[in-house]
Amino acid sequence: AQPTDTDSPEDRVARELKMLAGQLTDPSRTDKTKFEAAELLLIRADARAAEILLGFLSPQVPPNPRAQIAVAEAIARAGTGRKEFVEPLMAMLTGADETVRAPAARALATYKDQAVLRKLIEIARSDKQDKAVRLATISAFRQVLDKRTLGVLVSLLDDSDADISAAAGDTLAKITNISAFRTNKELAKKWLRDWGSKKQSVLIAQLADSLARANSALETQNEILRKRLRTSLEDLYAARPAELRETMLVS
């Protein structure tokens, strides 16, 4: 229904909440639309919006994994999840549906709650936990700049499971921008010993500086590739017969 001049502010809010919930429910909507709907619900300081999101995170009949993923990704992007979302996100991470694990792990990794971090560390360490769940959790640690998770990642380099060890090395390399950590366990251990005694604020500042330099180098490389692509396209256009150039421009 379209809003009218007689609609109260409450009516408009209710209608918008219903519309956003409908976008998450509708299977014909794109993943991008679902994500945007989840984001709009998440930023609302409204208990009803939180209830809608919680309803999608919790198990549904029939299942709606695309909506679950959209909500989890919105929480991960915002970095400000509600406490009531923790339990269903943990259920998504440790549940049977592998498609929702990684988004749930990324969302949980943004929580500042120490109990949530302890639980994620426990999952990553436990050899009794499903390996796919451990891998999703370890990968999500790249979003966490914390001395404890760095220590866990270094310790997992010695894990008896090669996949777990490799995942820990990959995550550690991405956090620190030291690619050698993927293959050199002793170097990673030495790095942790050197930095482990420093204050967390100093460690985070060092990591942030390293990542900033990496992003700057990547942007430089991207600009070089863009110039090469532009030159290649211009050369290809010039080499085309005149009657085919219009077709190339359209494509």
pLDDT of residue 80: 77
- Looking at this protein, which amino acid is placed at residue 92? M
Residues of the chain short of pLDDT 50, as ranges, are: 216
Query: Cα–Cα distance between 60 and 97 in angstroms, integer?
Result: 13
pLDDT tens, 158-174? 999 999 999 999 999 98
pLDDT reported for residue 210: 60
pLDDT given for residue 244 in this prediction: 78
Q: Please report which residue ranges of the chain form alpha helices under DSSP H.
A: 9-25, 31-42, 47-57, 65-78, 86-94, 101-109, 114-125, 131-140, 147-156, 162-176, 185-196, 200-239, 242-250
Which residue's entry shows tokens 């219903």?
Answer: 18
Amino acid, res. 47 = A
The structure's pTM equals: 0.76
